[in-house]
Amino acid sequence: MNDDITVADLSLSMGGQKIIKSLSTSIKAKSITAIIGPNGSGKTTLLSALVGLRKINGQVMLGQDNIYEMPSKIRAQKIGYLPQKNEVNWNISVSNLIGLGAMPHRFNNQTSGNIIDKAMDVTNIAHLADRKVMDLSGGELSRALFARVLAGDPEWIMLDEPMAHLDLSHQLGMIDLLKSIKANGKSIVIIVHDLHQAARLADNIIVMKDGLIDSEGPTKKVLNLEMLKRVFGIKAQIINDKHGVKIDEIMRL
Partner 1 sequence: MNKLNLALFIGLLFASCISLLAGKIWISPLDISSNAEVSIIYQLRLPRTVLGIIIGTALGMAGAAMQGFLRNPLADPGLFGISSSAALGAILSLFLGLNGVWILPIFALLGAALGMGLLTLLAGRSGSLIIFTLAGLILSSLTGSLTALLISLAPNPFASSEIITWLMGAITDRSWGDVYFTAPLVAGGMICLLLSAKMLDALTLGQDVARSMGVNMTIVQYLLILGIGLSVGASVAVTGIIGFVGLVVPHLMRPLTDERPSNLLIPSAIAGAILIVLADSIIRIMPMVSELRLGIAMSLLGAPFFLGLLYHMRRKLA
Distance CA 57, CA 200 (A): 34
Distance CA 237, CA 96 (A): 46
The contacts of residue 8 (CB under 8 Å, 6+ apart) are 24, 58, 59, 60, 61
Q: Does 76 bind partner 1 (CB under 8 A)?
A: yes
Residue 149-168 contact track with partner 1, rule CB under 8 A, x = bound: ---x----------------
Query: Which residue, among 165, 125, 164, has the nearest Cα to 147 in the 3D structure?
Result: 125
Of residues 104-143, those binding partner 1 (CB under 8 A): 104, 132
Of residues 54-73, those binding partner 1 (CB under 8 A): 72-73
Q: Does 181 bind partner 1 (CB under 8 A)?
A: no
Distance CA 36, CA 52 (A): 20
Nearer to partner 1, 143 or 209 (CB): 143
List 17, 90, 248, 249, residue binding partner 1 (CB under 8 A): 90
Nearer to partner 1, 71 or 243 (CB): 71
> Quick one: DSSP state of residue 46?
H
Residue 50 beta carbon to partner 1: minimum distance, rounded to whole angstroms:
11
Distance CA 250, CA 209 (A): 20
Residue 154 beta carbon to partner 1: minimum distance, rounded to whole angstroms:
10
Residue 48 beta carbon to partner 1: minimum distance, rounded to whole angstroms:
7
Query: Which residue, among 34, 9, 24, has the nearest Cα to 194 in the 3D structure?
Result: 34
Residue 210 beta carbon to partner 1: minimum distance, rounded to whole angstroms:
24
Nearer to partner 1, 145 or 213 (CB): 145
Which residue type does 80 have? Answer: G
Q: How many residues bind partner 1 (CB under 8 A)?
A: 32
List 37, 101, 162, 211, residue binding partner 1 (CB under 8 A): 101
Binding segment toward partner 1, per CB under 8 A, in 6-14, 23-31, 101-109, 242-250: 101-109
Measured between alpha carbons, how far is residue 7 from residues 11, 58, 145, 150, 191 in Å? 10, 8, 27, 24, 17
Nearer to partner 1, 146 or 232 (CB): 146
> Bridge-partner residues for 197, per DSSP?
none
Q: Does 83 bind partner 1 (CB under 8 A)?
A: yes
Residue 83 beta carbon to partner 1: minimum distance, rounded to whole angstroms:
6
- How big is the CA angle at 152 (ends 147 and 158), to the nearest 5 degrees? 75
Strands in 133-191 per DSSP E: 156-160, 187-191
The full length of the chain comes to 253
Q: By the criterion CB under 8 A, which residues form the site for partner 1?
A: 48, 51-53, 72-73, 75-77, 79-83, 85, 87-93, 96-97, 100-101, 103-104, 132, 145, 148, 152
